[in-house]
Amino acid sequence: MSEPRRQELLRRLPSVDELLRSGLVRPWLERLPRRLVVGAVRRVLDRTRRTILRAPESELVSDGELDAHLERELERALREVGSYRLRPVINATGVVLHTGLGRAPLARVALQNIGRVASGYCSLEVDLDTGSRGRRTGIVRDLLCELTGAESATVVNNNAAATLITLATLAAGKEVIVSRGELIEIGGSFRLPEIMAASGARLREVGTTNKTRLADYEGAIGPETGALLKVHTSNYRILGFTEAVPLEQLVRLGRRHNLPVVDDIGSGALLDLSRFGLTGEPVASHSVRSGADLVLFSGDKLLGGPQAGIIVGRKAWIEKIERHPLARAFRVGKLTLAALEATLRLYMDEEQALREVPALRMISEPDTVVRARAERLRRFLGGVDGLEWVELAQDTAYVGGGAVPAQGLLTWTVRVRAKSLPEDGLAARLRTGDPSVLARVQDGCVIFDARTLNDSEVELVAEAVKLALQPRADAP
């Protein structure tokens, strides 16, 4: 092989037009906009040309290999432009609120309500009785007050926005006192000190990482103080020699000094989940009852609704927050409100919420039910060629999304090992398959957790495994 061989390969590359007329590409022109197909073809040709130019001489391919390579790459590129980038996936990871997978799946009524409301016009900001213009957040205000016992409520884009606008409204240019044990980071981009800085409030840290006493807060209060902030340490726990100030005491201190007390509870459970073994997760209504002036939480964590930041508490503060210029920047759209209203209505009947809010169902499902689902999956997988072994195992699932980090949920999994594919190879094929399946990889196995699957997904997972194990030319 020599330099002329490289030139020969480049000459052999077909043109975009030739490919568009070829039997491989032409059928795609009937299914997809020409612009998408041309773009994909062009990218494959460019990539291949670069590969030929850069490849060491010894690796230059034969003509036949070049054709096969092009065919494979075109097929892949066309399939890719032909499908959505945001795709549904089957979550077999056992992490219920998986931020990478979109956190809480929505309840069926929430989806129906989005369809009902968003395919045409809707009463987003118009009071249909009077015809007057109002605030869109009024749509969920009464429900949130009813469910949390608060005087008033509002909704913004997410809990990070809720924290930012609350601090900006209450304490811009002033100090906000926070325990050093509560300076949290949630998933990289939410770091409390940075949110504080962006709000224009100044962080006044008190106490130490493991111990903060009431006297520490009290000693820091002065003419510059704008608010007292308590933050739930959602994604970590400080254990051992520790001390923190209960909300009730902080509230009493705030009252004495005429300072608002803000409680960022993070996950925002509307129900007490301790009966399902999840303890230490604050419940919104408890926080309100303890006297916090404002309570902040996410809509898509334990509440099980759409991404949103919910602020409940004193009417006067909520009104001020809604008048802040950031309210417009952080406001939620009609899709969010449609999903949130429907989800909150489910909570008017606790049992219904546990059945129909998917995140709650997964968390509260008895392990006998989870085990039966795992057994069904094992039976399906037992018949799949290419698996070396298939095994039922008890394991631990997690709530995720920065909630109850130290406590797992008892769960049942199916562990598999393929005969001729390493575990991460199998996991990669499952991830890129259709439907895409995300599983855990551990101890040399691929592990499917039945707690985050629903009954209709069991057979789909088995089918996906079967497909992933079929021999293929372009094995990764």
Binding stretches for ligand PLP (CB under 6 A): 158-160, 184, 186, 190, 231-232, 234, 264, 266-267, 298, 309, 402
Angle (CA) 296 301 307, round 5°: 80
Nearer to ligand PLP, 185 or 243 (CB): 185
Structure tokens belonging to residue 239: 């254990």
Nearer to ligand PLP, 287 or 413 (CB): 287
**Angle between helices 34-54 and 63-81 in degrees, nearest 10:** 140
Nearer to ligand PLP, 186 or 437 (CB): 186
For the CB of residue 364, give the shortest distance to ligand PLP in the complex, in Å.
Answer: 20
Nearer to ligand PLP, 282 or 429 (CB): 282
Q: Which of 264, 293, 270, 266 is nearest to 283 (CA)?
A: 270
Structure tokens belonging to residue 101: 């997978």
Nearer to ligand PLP, 236 or 389 (CB): 236
For the CB of residue 136, give the shortest distance to ligand PLP in the complex, in Å.
Answer: 19
Nearer to ligand PLP, 207 or 309 (CB): 309
Angle (CA) 211 212 215, round 5°: 140
Query: Which residue of this chain has its Cβ atom nearest to ligand PLP in the complex?
Result: 266
Whether the CB-CB separation of 336 and 306 falls below 8 Å is answered with yes
For the CB of residue 77, give the shortest distance to ligand PLP in the complex, in Å.
Answer: 35
Q: What DSSP assignment string belongs to 328-377?
A: HHT---HHHHHHHHHHHHHTTSHHHHHHHSHHHHHHHS-HHHHHHHHHHH
Which residues are paired to 190 by β-bridges?
186
**Angle between helices 423-432 and 458-468 in degrees, nearest 10:** 120
Q: For residue 183, give every residue at least 6 positions away whose Cβ sits within 8 Å of its Cβ, in sequence order, or none.
A: 191, 192, 193, 203, 205, 231
For the CB of residue 300, give the shortest distance to ligand PLP in the complex, in Å.
Answer: 7
Nearer to ligand PLP, 181 or 309 (CB): 309
Structural Rg of the chain based on CA atoms: 28
For the CB of residue 192, give the shortest distance to ligand PLP in the complex, in Å.
Answer: 8
Q: Which of 185, 137, 196 is nearest to 163 (CA)?
A: 196
Nearer to ligand PLP, 162 or 271 (CB): 162
Q: How far is CA 361 from CA 106, 331, 356, 408, 418, in A?
A: 11, 29, 7, 16, 32
For the CB of residue 330, give the shortest distance to ligand PLP in the complex, in Å.
Answer: 11
Q: What is the spatial distance between Cα 123 and Cα 107, in angstroms, rounded to a whole number?
A: 22
Nearer to ligand PLP, 166 or 452 (CB): 166
For the CB of residue 162, give the shortest distance to ligand PLP in the complex, in Å.
Answer: 8
For the CB of residue 154, give the shortest distance to ligand PLP in the complex, in Å.
Answer: 15
Nearer to ligand PLP, 231 or 447 (CB): 231
For the CB of residue 253, give the shortest distance to ligand PLP in the complex, in Å.
Answer: 21
Q: For residue 209, give every residue at least 6 positions away whose Cβ sits within 8 Å of its Cβ, in sequence order, or none.
A: 180, 181, 238
Q: What is the spatial distance between Cα 325 and Cα 253, in angstroms, rounded to a whole number?
A: 30
Tally of CB atoms within 10 A around 254: 22
Nearer to ligand PLP, 73 or 264 (CB): 264
Q: Which of 458, 438, 447 is nearest to 414 (CA)?
A: 447
Structure tokens belonging to residue 441: 């990889």
3-state class (DSSP) for residue 244: coil
For the CB of residue 267, give the shortest distance to ligand PLP in the complex, in Å.
Answer: 6
For the CB of residue 278, give the shortest distance to ligand PLP in the complex, in Å.
Answer: 14
**Angle between helices 192-199 and 159-171 in degrees, nearest 10:** 50
Report residue 107 CA to chain centroid gap. Answer: 15
Q: How far is CA 369 from CA 136, 271, 394, 407, in A?
A: 40, 22, 13, 20
